[in-house]
Amino acid sequence: MKPRAVLIYAPSWIGDGVMSLAAVRAVRESFPDARLAVLTRPWVEAVYQAVDAIDEIVRYDPRQDDRGWSGFWRTARRVREGKFDLCVLLPNAFRAAALIKASGVKERWGFATEGRGFFLTRQVPQPPRPFGRHQAYFYLDLVAGLGLDVPDGAPDTHLDVASEVADGARRVLEQAGWTGGALVGVHPGATNSRAKIWSASRYAEVATRMAAERDAQVAVFGGPKEAELAAEVLAALSGPAKETAIALQGKTSLSELMGALKFLTVFLTNDSGPMHLAAALGVSTVAVFGPTDARETGPLGPKTTVVREPVDCSPCLYRDCPIDHRCMERVSVERVLGEANALVPTVL
Ligand code: SF4
């Protein structure tokens, strides 16, 4: 088959978006002459905009488009206008397949899940998901199952930021007080999970000490819902790190966040969307893991390290810990500091 226009229905979250990039690149390689578009949510859009393999973004905003049938048909019309011959559906949802069928896309390929086989023209049984297999392979398994070529080797999830994105991020950083030197970044939050959060005061201590050893400033990141956690980190910093700290929580768009991450000397983070972004951008990233499995959703990138303490109850995938949060409580400041210093030595 030689489609002229291919649409990839993207996952809904930043981390999943990053982990899907190897599959997106494999689709591109299989159809080098086609126009390649991605149907994506606005809050993930910048991830795909940073990928050369993609020609076009089709926006799907559930805050408007999920409101009943009129929204459904509005999105279907938007997809129809793109005149796509083929859609590869990365998410498993029934509604995704129904939407693409309603859009009139002739070829609709995806996993045969949620009883949606009726909407698909090529379906792949979802393979078993063995413990410890990275989520990036979930998407690659789909592409391979569809009969498309998947390159050997580690999944290529790298991201680049355009120079204008970097310039915009530099302005945001400078307006927030950056003087242009070394930066220790901290992202103390995690969307929809309290169990994934390491202590704000411990992050502050690691960041304070790393900044002191590198004559660096500390930049604290977070979404609007993470303002309180970010404020806790900022309050718990000490010495010059506190005086020169840069508060970025709730102040960056996704593309500004990606640009700002590129300026970091090191990034300290929980298992989160920004963790995946930083790793994919090649930023030195230290990720603290507790209830989730780093083998499955760990950072993919050349300069990453995961810190976790082995506890019998992990991975549990709980959003709130039903016991004493030992998976995170047992991760010490010294441990994270040691791993971070090993990843980013002060003397190169
Ligand atoms: S049950 Fe165990 S792994 Fe899960 S959040 Fe609690 S301490 Fe962590």
Pick the CATH number of 163-343 from 3.40.50.2000, 3.40.800.10, 2.60.120.10, 3.40.309.10: 3.40.50.2000
- Dihedral of CA 5/6/9/10: which sign? negative
Q: Which atom of ligand 1 is nearest to the CA of 329?
A: 7
Q: What is the pLDDT of residue 337?
A: 97
217 in Cβ contact with 183 (< 8 Å): yes
d(CA 302, CA 80) in angstroms, rounded, equals 39
322, exposed or middle or buried, with CB in 10 Å at 0-12, 13-18, 19+? exposed
DSSP states of 288-345? E-SSS-HHHH---SSSEEEE----TT-S---SS-SS--HHHHT--HHHHHHHHHHHS-
d(CA 162, CA 78) in angstroms, rounded, equals 27
Return the residue matching tokens 């927030």.
Answer: 176
Smallest Cα–Cα separation from 119: which of 81, 165, 87, 143?
A: 87
Return the SS3 of 252: coil
Smallest Cα–Cα separation from 184: which of 290, 325, 343, 1?
A: 343
Q: What is the pLDDT of residue 348?
A: 47
Q: Which atom of ligand 1 is nearest to the CA of 325?
A: 7
Q: What is the pLDDT of residue 68?
A: 67
- Parallel, antiparallel or unpaired: strands 183-187 and 266-270: parallel
Per residue of the chain (348 residues), what is the pLDDT tens digit? 899 999 999 999 999 999 999 999 999 999 999 999 999 999 999 999 999 999 999 998 777 666 667 777 888 999 999 999 999 999 999 989 999 999 999 999 999 988 898 999 999 988 777 788 899 999 999 999 999 999 998 999 999 999 999 999 999 999 999 999 999 999 999 988 999 999 999 999 999 999 999 999 999 999 988 999 999 999 999 999 999 999 999 999 999 999 999 999 999 999 999 999 999 999 999 999 999 999 999 999 989 999 999 999 999 989 999 999 999 999 999 999 999 999 998 754
Using most ligand atoms within 8 A of CB, pick from 192, 199, 313 the residue to mutate for ligand 1. 313
Q: What count of Cα atoms within 13 Å lies in the side-chain half-sphere of residue 78?
A: 18
- Which residue lies with its CA nearest to atom 2 of ligand 1? 313
Using most ligand atoms within 8 A of CB, pick from 193, 194, 199, 316 the residue to mutate for ligand 1. 316
Pick the CATH number of 5-145 from 3.40.50.2000, 3.20.20.60, 1.10.730.10, 3.40.50.1100: 3.40.50.2000
216, exposed or middle or buried, with CB in 10 Å at 0-12, 13-18, 19+? buried
> Is it true that 5-145 and 163-343 share their CATH fold?
yes
Ligand 1 pocket residues where CB is under 6 Å = 195, 290-291, 311, 313-314, 316, 318, 321-323, 325-327
40 in Cβ contact with 70 (< 8 Å): no
d(CA 74, CA 60) in angstroms, rounded, equals 10
Q: What is the pLDDT of residue 312?
A: 96
Using most ligand atoms within 8 A of CB, pick from 293, 311, 324 the residue to mutate for ligand 1. 311
d(CA 60, CA 9) in angstroms, rounded, equals 10
Q: What is the pLDDT of residue 345?
A: 87
Domain residue ranges of the chain, discontinuous segments joined by +:
5-145, 163-343
